[in-house]
Amino acid sequence: MPNLTINGVLLEFQKGQSILEVAIDNAIEIPHYCYHPGLSVPANCRICLAEISQPNHKTGQLELIPKLMPTCHTVAAEGMVVSTLTPKAEANQKAVMEYLLINHPVDCAVCDQAGECGLQDYSYEYGRSHSRFEEDKIKNPKKDVGPHVLLYSDRCIMCTRCVRFTKEVTKTSELMVEGRGGTEMIDVFPGIALDNELSGNVVDLCPVGALLDKDFLFQQRVWFLKKTPSIDGITASGDNISIEHNEGVVYRIKPRTNLEVNQWWITDEVRYGWKFVHSENRLTLPALRGAVSFDRADPAAAWDATMSRAVDVLQAGSRNGRIAFLASPMLSCEDAFLLGRAILSIDPSAVLGVGPVPKSGEDRTLDGGFTISCEKAPNARGVRRVLEALAGTAPARRPTGAPSVCDANEFLAALTSAGSSVALVTGNYPSEWVDEPLARALAVRRFVLLDTLPNRLTSLAETFLPVATWVEKSGTFENAKNRLQSFERAISPVDFVKCEGQIALDLATRLTGSPAAIYDAARTRLEMSAVRGLEIFADQVRHPPLAHARASDMVTVEI
Footprint of ligand SF4 on 173-192 (CB under 6 A): 186
Beta bridge partners of residue 186, listed in sequence order: 177
Judge contact between 469 and 491, C-beta under 8 A.
no
Smaller CB separation from ligand FES, 4 or 350: 4
Q: Is 157 in the site for ligand FES (CB under 6 A)?
A: no
Binding at 314: pick from ligand FES, ligand SF4, none (beta carbon under 5-8 Å per type): none
Is the CB of 45 or the CB of 151 nearer to ligand FES? 45
> In angstroms, rounded to a whole number, what is the distance separating the alpha carbons of residues 48 and 29?
10
Among 69, 162, 346, 453, binds ligand SF4 (CB under 6 A): 162
Kindly tell me which of 35 and 537 has the beta carbon lying closer to ligand SF4: 35
The reply on whether position 207 binds ligand FES by CB under 6 A is: no
First to last CA, the chain: 57
Q: Does 34 bind ligand FES (CB under 6 A)?
A: yes
User: Applying CB under 6 A, which part among 15-23, 159-167, 408-416, 426-434 lies near ligand SF4?
Assistant: 159-167
Write each residue from 258 to 277 as x if it is in contact with ligand SF4 (CB under 6 A), else as -, in one continuous string: --------------------
Site for ligand FES in 66-105 (CB under 6 A): 70, 72
The count of residues interacting with ligand SF4 (CB under 6 A) is 13
CB 511 within 8 A of CB 342: yes
Cβ neighbours for 412, distance < 8 A, ≥ 6 positions apart? 437, 438, 441
Instruction: Rank residues 142 and 397 by Cβ distance to ligand SF4 and give the closer one.
Output: 142
Q: How far is the CB of 35 from ligand SF4 (least distance, A)?
A: 12
Stretch that binds ligand SF4, among 207-215, 242-250, 284-292, 486-494 (CB under 6 A): 207-215
3-state secondary structure of 142: strand
Q: How far is the CB of 34 from ligand FES (least distance, A)?
A: 4
With CB under 5 to 8 Å by kind, the binding choice for 389 among ligand SF4, ligand FES, none is: none
Q: What angle do CA 48, 50, 54 make, to 5 degrees?
A: 135
In this chain, which stretch among 87-95, 202-210, 504-512, 526-534 interacts with ligand SF4, using CB under 6 A?
Answer: 202-210
Count the helix, strand and coil residues of the chain and give each as a percent rounded to the nearest 5: 30, 20, 50
Reference 265, options 363, 169, 373, 174; nearest CA is 169
Which member of 68, 100, 111, 211 binds ligand SF4 (CB under 6 A)?
211
At its nearest, how many Å lie between ligand SF4 and the CB of residue 368? Answer: 18
**46 lines the binding site for ligand FES (CB under 6 A):** yes
Q: Of residues 69, 208, 313, 441, which one binds ligand SF4 by CB under 6 A? A: 208
Identify which of residues 158 and 536 has a Cβ nearer to ligand SF4 in the complex: 158
- 471, 489 contact by CB (below 8 A): yes
Which residues partner with 6 through β-bridges? 9, 82
If one asks whether residue 35 binds ligand FES (CB under 6 A), the answer comes out as yes
CB of 159 to ligand SF4, least distance (A): 4
**Interface residue with ligand FES, options 6, 11, 43, 243 (CB under 6 A):** 43
Position 158 contacts ligand SF4 (CB under 6 A): yes
Nearer to ligand SF4, 34 or 424 (CB): 34
The stretch near ligand SF4 (CB under 6 A) out of 19-27, 157-165, 285-293, 448-456 is 157-165
By CB under 6 A, name the one of 161, 254, 384, 498 that touches ligand SF4. 161
Q: Which of 13, 19, 23, 33 binds ligand FES (CB under 6 A)?
A: 33
Q: Does 206 bind ligand SF4 (CB under 6 A)?
A: yes
**Residue 157 in the binding site for ligand SF4 (CB under 6 A):** yes
Query: 3-state secondary structure string, 383-438?
Result: HHHHHHHHHHHCCCCCCCCCCCCECHHHHHHHHHHCCCCEEEEECCCCCCCCCHHH
217 burial type by CB count under 10 A (0-12 exposed, 13-18 middle, 19+ buried): exposed
Name the one range near ligand FES by CB under 6 A: 33-41, 97-105, 148-156, 330-338.
33-41
205 is a contact residue toward ligand SF4 (CB under 6 A):
yes
CA angle 286, 279, 273 (to 5 degrees): 120
173 backbone dihedrals φ, ψ, rounded to 5°: 50, 40
**Three-class DSSP labels, 452-480:** CCCCCCCCCCCEEEEECCHHHCCEEEECC
Pattern 96-135, binding to ligand SF4, x per CB under 6 A? ----------------------------------------
- Cβ–Cβ under 8 Å, residues 531 and 390: yes
Would residue 401 be called left, alpha or beta, if left means φ above 0 and alpha means ψ between -120 and 50 degrees? Answer: left
Rounded-to-integer distance, Cα 232 and Cα 368, Å: 20
The helix-helix angle for 500-512 and 333-346 (nearest 10°) equals 20
Contact partner at residue 494 from ligand SF4, ligand FES, none, CB < 5 to 8 Å by partner kind:
none
CB of 20 to ligand FES, least distance (A): 6
Q: Within 13 Å, how many C-alpha atoms sit on residue 429's CB side?
A: 23
Per the CB < 8 A criterion, the answer to whether 102 and 128 are in contact is: no
Q: Does 438 bind ligand FES (CB under 6 A)?
A: no
Q: Which of 73, 131, 77 is nearest to 100 (CA)?
A: 131
Q: Which amino acid is it at 235?
A: T
Give the C-alpha separation, 507 to 519, whole Å: 12
Query: Which residue, 96 or 307, has its beta carbon nearer to ligand FES?
Result: 96
Transcribe 3-39 into DSSP letters. EEEETTEEEE--TT-BHHHHHHHTT-----SS--TTS
- Which partner in ligand FES, ligand SF4, none is near 205 (CB below 5 to 8 A by kind)? ligand SF4
Residues near ligand FES (CB under 6 A) are 32-35, 43, 45-48, 70, 72
Binding site residues, ligand SF4, CB under 6 A: 156-162, 186, 205-206, 208, 210-211
